[in-house]
Each structure stands twice: as structure tokens, then as C-alpha cells.
Amino acid sequence: MFIFLLTGCSILSKPITLEDPKKAMIQVMVQFPDGSKYSYTLTNFSIMQDLLDKLDCKLCNMSQLNPLTILKDGDLIVLSSVPGLSVSINQATREELMFLPGIGESLAQRIVDYRTNFGLFQRLEDIMRIKGGIKMTLFNKIKAYISL
């Protein structure tokens, strides 16, 4: 024998819609070694690997990040550069220079050409002498990754 006890009943004036939590979006902020910050939009319950797949930072140290960490809205991920790893603006090939953020094929070639025509760079800031090339904003972005 079963006894059901109904203590109260209400009628909803509006239907309740339950959203799929995986369709909700989160914002994650990433701070790069040069100090710049960028916001990335990911689906709820995204893992660190989903974020890493969107990043283009070949000189960043990713070894300290767990790719299976579940990200939350508002997370700040601070990336550091690989210790001891930098691109020598006096010795790097065009292809190696292209690893630097904001340096494409043509600008990398201009760096190599400048070095060939005028000699080695004496200071990191000398890279800003390249005609039509690197201004202060881009220099600030790459200085954490370059060496003489």
C-alpha cells in the first residue's frame, strides 16, 4: 500500500527554460610575458587545452599549465617566457625571427637585410631603426623575447 501526501501545488506563470550549461560562455583573460592582456571567449566547462589551442605564443612557457584544468569565468592566466630562451636579433634566421609576436615574413626579412647592410645591433632598441618596421608598441611587445 502506497500513500501519497500532496502538501502544496503551484502553477507557474512563465515556463522555466533550462539552458544547456555547456552552451553558456565564459571570458578568460590571458597575460603574456610582455605584459599585454587579451580576453578569450570559451564555452562553459572548457579546459586549459581549449585555451592553449587558441593561443599563438611559441616562446611562452606552457609547461606549468595543466591542460586538464577546468576554466571558470573571469580566470586570469599569466604566461611567462621560457627561461633562457630568446631570439637573438643578431643571429636569428628569418624563420626564427618570425616566432616573435607581430613579426611576419616581410618584417623578419627586413631585420635580416638591415643586419647584413649595417652590421650587428648594438642595443635591443636599435631594432627600431629599421625603415617602416618596428615602432615602440611592437618593440614593447617583443622585448621580453629578444636578445643581442
Residue-wise pLDDT for 12-56, tens only, equals 555 555 555 556 899 999 988 877 889 999 999 999 999 999 987
Counting DSSP H helices and E strands in the chain, the numbers are 4, 7
* Closest to 148 (Cα-Cα) out of 117, 132, 125: 125
Note the pLDDT tens digit of each residue in 71-104: 999 999 988 877 667 889 999 899 889 888 888 8
Contact between 28 and 70 (Cβ < 8 Å): no
Question: What per-residue confidence (pLDDT) applies to 86?
Answer: 81
- 122-140 pLDDT per residue, tens: 998 999 998 887 898 889 8
CA distance 148 to 132: 21
Give the model's pLDDT for residue 79.
85
The count of C-alpha atoms lying within 13 angstroms of the C-alpha of 146, restricted to the half-sphere facing its C-beta, is 28
Instruction: Tell me which of 143 and 6 has the higher pLDDT.
Output: 143
Give the count of alpha carbons within 13 A of 72, CB side only: 1
**C-alpha cell at position 71:** 576554466
Q: What is the per-residue pLDDT for 112?
A: 93
Report all structural domains of the chain as residue ranges with CATH numbers, in order of start. Answer: 23-81 (3.10.20.90), 87-147 (1.10.150.320)
- The Cα–Cα gap between 50 and 138 comes to 27
What ranges in the chain are assigned the alpha helix state H? Answer: 48-54, 94-97, 105-118, 136-142
